[in-house]
Structure 1
Amino acid sequence: MRFDLPLSGVKVLDLSRVLAGPMSTMVLADLGADVIKVEHPDRGDDTRDWGMQVAPGYTTYFSSFNRNKRSTAVDISTPQGAETIRKLAATCDVIVENFKAGGMERFGLGYEVLQKVNPRLVYCAISGYDRAGPEASRPGYDLVVQGESGLMGINGEANSPPLKFGVAAVDLFTGMYAAQAILASLYKTKSTGKGCRIDLALYDCGVMISSYYGLEALLLGHNPPRYGNQHPSIVPYGVFEAQDGPLVIAVGNNAQYRKLCNEVLHRPDLATDERFETNLKRSKSRVELSATLHEELLKHRKQDLLDKLAAVGIPSGQVFGLHEALTDPRTRKAGLLHSLSLPDDGEVTVLSSPWRFNGERLPVRRPPMLGEHSQQVAMELRDGGP
């Protein structure tokens, strides 16, 4: 199938590195934008040296956030490099950068300068903290923000130390928020002919991730309890142990709870117990109910439980390790993994974007080599664009 991708014709200059910025531009690239990734000629993006090496210049980390892009090598700290960026900005619809406050201005590449070069430019600046606040100059790191925003404080078991998320959740969310804002700005620019500046801070996005847990903390007036693999608001809803291992059971309403008791566990007394009749009551009595359910579930084998739960319409599933999940037929049949050839006859595996358009996955191109498209980009500048 030949795709007419939604962002075909949109040109993005990616001056960001590591994760949040590259995540946002990868979203745009997946949707069809021509993303030119600007990298330092010697070291490239830091993440070319992070994670497991696949081939020279390719790592699992870099490949995760840079598919579908082109790479040009430019040292923007030099007058010649800065001039190249100004020329590129004049041809682009979007710029994304994540330098510390004042970094782009120091190179003569701040929004005020580039907006004069290109009034239609959507300029997205990602920082660690509010650029208008007292911490504007602090560098932003996902792990630090997970601690400062309270996310570590809501993750993990009740009696364990604060726990970070398994992936860089703040960076990932910030990248998605940035992509959303860029898309909205591009839509507005179509009618107004004017671009804008977008500012995003990792800390702000970290606070947003707290969602309903954060509102509960404000209502309580203190830190809410942590429930580990159980849901803080819905009971029973979490990871449970069967005779031969863990499974997920997600009882989403009172009717499903009654089915769990009557048709799966054959404990009608638990369904009629006034302490457990509604979710609000079950939440208040979660300790007592959880202890009883733990005893009952250990009487059954995992697959037997999964079959019975599915038969009565109660959401449930396996608890896979990451390798098991990625190699499961479900993942492969969905087309979520792509093995792509490298220039040296090697191979790199990348994930697909999660969308389908008209029933089809979007095309995937391998992450670029450092400076792979420098000559091509230079020729386009000379000739007036691709």
Structure 2
Amino acid sequence: MRENFQTKHKGKDIDLYEIESPEGYRLQLANYGCRLVSLWLRDQRDRKVDVLLGYDNIGQYLTDDANLGALVGRVANRIGNASFTLDGKKYQLTKNINGKHHLHGGVEGFASAVWEVEDYTKSSIILTHKSHDGDQGYPGNLIVKAVIRWTEEDVLQTYIYATTDKPTVANLTFHPYFNLMGEGTPSLDEHKFWLDANEILEFGEDSIATGNSLAIGTTPFNFQEITSVNFQEVMKTQWGMDGEGIDHFFVLNNFDESLQEVAKAEAENGLSMEIWTNQPGLQFYTANFLDTEGKDGKHYSKHTAFCLEAQVHPNAPNISHFPSVRLAPGTTYTHHTEYRFRVAD
């Protein structure tokens, strides 16, 4: 499949890379958008399973609007009215939601950039990207480094670092679409989820965070005990959403900037995935608007995958009591998220 990725885009080389764990888990990724393309695990019956949705060739990624597997930024999620004020100055960003709002870094965010490969070994890869001052409306030259590696314990670690030469905002995350039964599986019915969260953010018109938090309580958004998604009930009570499924921000309990286990997904084939992160929240998304042809011609449709994107609260540049996404010169933005895979006996 590698030859399907080897091309040039805007004068830069694109390629497909692979890193492998001691157990033989294999992650493939492309330097276009720093995208996670395939992740091969073994299930309870020792069958190889690719648990990541993706495409067979770079052409599909170049036209992808779902951010499949991408590293998104400079600011992930939505910024209301595509603008914010920083240190008394208002910045207008590119608009890519309803001609009004800003999502995942804008019209040409990090998902559509060709990243430079700084280092590459059998088990790790480091990629870098420079976002210039004014890129998508953001201030400051931002230097971003993504470190992706397997540990000796078969943990997939991801680190994202960023520095700037003048005050700016940064809130980066990976956007992988998972199905632990294997990409192309037509539903999430075989999955259960646990999220360490008592609250969810209130979203208003166009899914923009209002600044309010809502107690999850006994609603169908309660995943404090591992359970499946009750789509019928979820789509009745969207708290301002369009009734399509889960696309909500879960405020994590006990956040203190240390690495903590915050979520888990498990499937009927015996595979499970723990998410550990140093971020204060997770955007839990059930692929409510997915409609595309993926690997081997498989059709990826609504509710056939899930995303658990660790990040700071959406619309944080506009809401002062949310955790700050301000990044100043001389400091380093650091995002650490790990994926720990288990196979039931």
TM-score by length of 1: 0.21
Asked which structure has the greater CA Rg, the reply is: 1
TM-score by length of 2: 0.23
User: 1 or 2, which has the higher helix percentage?
Assistant: 1
